[in-house]
Amino acid sequence: MSLSSAINLATSGLTVTRQDLDVTAGNIANAQTPGYTAKTTSRRVAVGNGDTIGVLSNGTKRSLDLQVQKQFFRESAATQYTKLMSTYMHRVDQTFGEPGTPNALDYGINQFSSAVQGLVTNPDSQVARENVLSKAQLLGQQLNTASDNIQTMRQEIEGALGDSVDTINNALKQIERLNNQIQIHSIDGTEPSALLDERDNYVSQIADLVDIEVTHGENNTFRISTSSGTTLFDRTAVQLQFSGNSNVTAESKWDSDPNKSSLGSITVISDNGNRVDLTSNKSFRSGKVAGLLDLRDNVLVEAQAQLDEIAAGLAESLSNKEVASVAATVGPQTGSDLDLSGLQAGNRITFTYKDNGTGQDHTVTYVRVDSASALPLSNDVTARMDDRVVGIDFSGGMASVAAQIQADLGAGFTVSNPAGNTLRILDDGAANTRDVVGLSATVTLTTTQDASGKLPLFTDGGNGNKPYSGAVDGTHQKVGFASRIQVNTEIRNDPSTLVKFASDTGNADQTRPKALYDALENTNYTFSYKTGIGSKATPANMSVTAFARQVISYQGGQAETAKTRHDGQTIAMNNVQSRMDDISKVNTDTELSRLMELQSAYSANARVLTAVREMLQTLMRM
């Protein structure tokens, strides 16, 4: 080997060792940098004419397992989803309150019920009357506050969705910029590791928000799509858009039909300008965005429905009275007459008949509406699932009402308006194909004077102290009622009406207090399955107070379940994070040991050059 060959060998050794030192120093310097992956180098022999002429570097590589990274992205999305759900479910649980504590809804309901019970014992006590009104007012305020809190959360979420879309768009644009640089550096097969780390950091931002799948190709190309298959990046970034609502209320709802929706949807704009509604397509299945949508459109809507159901139950139980029919006969036909005086918008007529051909009973619920624009009605207008719901427009008078019911029931019955506000339904007489089994109505009282003992204690403060009747014209009165419920101003101004249901009612008469207490604690009502209590097939049937207590318990259980799920997901995330760290995180001990090896190698190559120099100097002196 010539001296010049030795110089070339030692010089190449110094060059490659210096490059390795740079990589090692970079690893040590970035040991605590988030998203940094440990870099490694390797070498190969430089060969010329069959001889070793030096050493070459194979370049820098990242310590990264792509399969583990894919799992990391999946678990990141799942963790952000469960974290968000746990956080908000805890807030909802706090809104409803811990059972038995002064701020809890059940405490307010128990206090109100106890006050009414106290009035039963002392109906002539002014203190007892004022106590009922005070507890009723506090309960109403609790419902108002709880409803406002739920809608505040939905408003926050609407804003957070907009922020999330902005973050995704920015990350995709940065990924596009970095990807262009990466492709330039990857043409010769090298790995621009620093750029790849930076690109992956932006991918991680998206993975927290949306469940994604990353597919890698040659020369560091890659594609990002949602787990449902929607492409977010493939050489170029897509653009997402979100048009949020700046004033979210209980009436605000998302609908797949943009003409009916009052909440924002996330859409993607393709290269040709076409828009695809990703919310409607359910493209997001995990990640923060999926959690935000689930909370806004399902979880918090259910919580609001529970509050509204409690508020509606309180109002209706105390102000609704049942009106029974009387038997009616015309020739061979038999049936019932029902007085509909006082029937309010949203009030119901329940008609049950028997089909003698099958022997089965059928129930139809006719709901009063005051405008044909409200028709047709959904069967979900009533909580019971064994009836068929039909809206009847009362704006044309009783003759029109009878005609509409006749058209619905068909030839098996005769429906008429014999006088005043009387509705008459008769069977088909001698043909005997149908029998009238029952006919009744539920009527909302609008005044404090009624022999039933009921009274409109709670009213709709958002509609000028209007009695709550469950009207379904336009926006259903029940929606958001918890935010508007208040104590009837007429009763607040005259507490004696809590006892006096007629001009000649005595001060110590227990009739009304007993009726009110019985309506709260001892009378069962059917509640909508949309509250999450009960099911569509078997909706909850219990007293108003029992239902309210059930709701409190339900929310506590939901919060605990959400926390448990997040705790489990956190363990899964920690496990995959640990695997990522084992593979990709810088081990300073290893790097320091490597540094000592490189230092020795550098010194050795330098000594070779020194030895060659001394040999050359010796030759020059000869």
DSSP-derived secondary structure for 172-234: HHHHHHHHHHHHHHHTTS---HHHHHHHHHHHHHHHHHS-EEEEE-GGG-EEEEETTS-EEEE
β partners of residue 348: 367, 442
Look up residue 613 and give its amino acid.
R
Query: Which carries the bigger pLDDT value, residue 541 or residue 50?
Result: 541
How is residue 114 written in tokens? 């106890």
How is residue 154 written in tokens? 């939905």
* Structure confidence by residue, pLDDT tens digits, 318-342: 999 999 999 999 999 999 999 999 9
Q: What is the 3-state secondary structure (H, E, C) of 508-554?
A: CCCHHHHHHHHHHHCCCEECCHHHCCECCCCECEECHHHHHHHHHHH
Q: Interior CA angle at 20 toward 14 and 26, to 5°?
A: 135
Secondary structure class of 33 (helix, strand, coil):
coil
| Spatial contact of 210 and 287, defined as CB atoms under 8 Å apart | yes
- Residue 186's pLDDT is 82
- Residue 271's pLDDT is 67
Tokens 């190559």 belong to residue: 605
Residue 227: exposure state from Cβ atoms within 10 A (0-12, 13-18, ≥19): middle
How is residue 472 written in tokens? 């379904």
Q: Where are the alpha helices (DSSP H) in 210-352?
A: 287-294, 300-319
- Residue 15's pLDDT is 83
β partners of residue 544: none
232 phi/psi in degrees, rounded to 5: -105, -30
Q: Tell me, what DSSP letter sits at residue 243?
A: -
Q: How far apart are CA 175 and CA 15, in angstroms?
A: 33
* Structure confidence by residue, pLDDT tens digits, 394-442: 999 999 999 999 999 999 999 999 999 999 999 999 999 999 999 999 9
The residues, any chain, with a CB within 8 Å of residue 471's CB and separated by 6 or more, are: 344, 345, 346, 369, 370, 477
Instruction: Find how far residue 228's CA is from the centre of its chain.
Output: 19
E strands in 356-492: 360-369, 387-393, 414-416, 422-426, 434-444, 458-460, 466-467, 485-487
Tell me the average pLDDT of the chain. 93
- Residue 475's pLDDT is 86
Termini Cα distance of the chain: 21
| Spatial contact of 431 and 417, defined as CB atoms under 8 Å apart | no
Domain ranges of the chain: 3-63+586-621, 321-493
| Most confidently predicted of 203-207, 218-222, 596-600 | 203-207
For residues 110-120, average pLDDT: 97
Count of Cβ atoms closer than 10 Å to residue 449 Cβ? 12
| Spatial contact of 191 and 220, defined as CB atoms under 8 Å apart | yes
C-alpha dihedral, 609 to 613 to 614 to 616, nearest 10°:
140
Q: How far apart are CA 510 and CA 500, in angstroms?
A: 9
pTM of structure: 0.90
Is the predicted pLDDT of residue 45 greater than 90, yes or no? no
* Structure confidence by residue, pLDDT tens digits, 140-176: 999 999 999 999 999 999 999 999 999 999 999 999 9
How is residue 213 written in tokens? 């799948």
Whether the CA torsion 248, 252, 253, 255 is positive or negative: it is: negative
Per DSSP, the residues of 463-480 read GTSEEP----SSS-TTTT
Is the predicted pLDDT of residue 1 greater than 60, yes or no? no
Nearest by Cα to 105 from 80, 65, 142: 142
- Residue 483's pLDDT is 97
- Residue 597's pLDDT is 87
| Spatial contact of 144 and 485, defined as CB atoms under 8 Å apart | yes
Q: Which helix (H) or strand (E) holds 556?
A: helix 544-584
- Residue 377's pLDDT is 94
pLDDT band of residue 39 (cuts 50, 70, 90) is: confident
